[in-house]
Chains A and B, each alone.
Chain A
Amino acid sequence: GENVEQHPSTLSVQEGDSAVIKCTYSDSASNYFPWYKQELGKGPQLIIDIRSNVGEKKDQRIAVTLNKTAKHFSLHITETQPEDSAVYFCAASKGRNSSASKIIFGSGTRLSIRP
């Protein structure tokens, strides 16, 4: 079955610097890759997603890149701010319209922004 590995498990960056979180997946049939942000005491929230027919997607300070050949995808946060401190999860599934059971999550990255 699908397996998603996420690195690093913890990341600390200076406010204003960039942060990069990387994930790899095992099932080449996966074609939808969402990213979730979980703030302290809250549930995960979808922040951005990408489909396999797109190599990069941006939304303000957040961008995701996908390398289908290498089965890698990454989350890039530029000009980090204190409110970016949270746990980030990557995920993979075979289509945006997959049921919840088919969405495989990475183990999470705890991002801390140093003032």
Chain B
Amino acid sequence: KAGVTQTPRYLIKTRGQQVTLSCSPISGHRSVSWYQQTPGQGLQFLFEYFSETQRNKGNFPGRFSGRQFSNSRSEMNVSTLELGDSALYLCASSFISTGELFFGEGSRLTVL
């Protein structure tokens, strides 16, 4: 059974640009969550989607947005990139919105 797939794995952007990250959950999982991981800060919750609906949003500015498609695949977008947005962005899926989290390998974003 394939795990959670995130693309791209690595990307470099410059300040002011925007970026879109993609997450394909484990087959059959309907819940997708996104996290930002930075050194010393652990995992900071960004969003949670279930059946195409955003269920919860973390304490991040409006430049961070996301969506989920009917096939449960999810994307997140960060507009007007800032240096501080450099991080590993992790996606996690679960069968239901309250199930065990299965993480992907992440998309490492570097903002120059």
Contact = CB atoms under 8 A, between A and B. Distances in A.
Contacts, number: 55
B43 interface: yes
Given A43-B90, A43-B92, A100 B103 contact: no
B56 A100 contact: yes
A9 B45 contact: no
Contact of A101 (B45, B94, B103, B104): B45
B111 interface: no
Q: Is the interface of A mostly helix, strand, loop or mixed?
A: loop
B86 interface: no
B105 A100 contact: no
Interface residues of B, number: 25
A89 B42 contact: yes
A69 to B, nearest CB: 25
A61 B28 CA distance: 32
B90 A100 contact: no
Given A100-B45, A100-B101, 11 more contacts: A36-B103, A42-B105, A43-B92, A43-B106, A44-B43, A100-B92, A100-B97, A101-B57, A103-B101, A105-B42, A105-B43
11 contacts: A43-B92, A43-B103, A43-B104, A97-B99, A99-B55, A99-B56, A99-B97, A100-B101, A101-B55, A106-B42, A107-B42
Interface of A: 6, 9, 36, 41-46, 89, 96-101, 103, 105-108
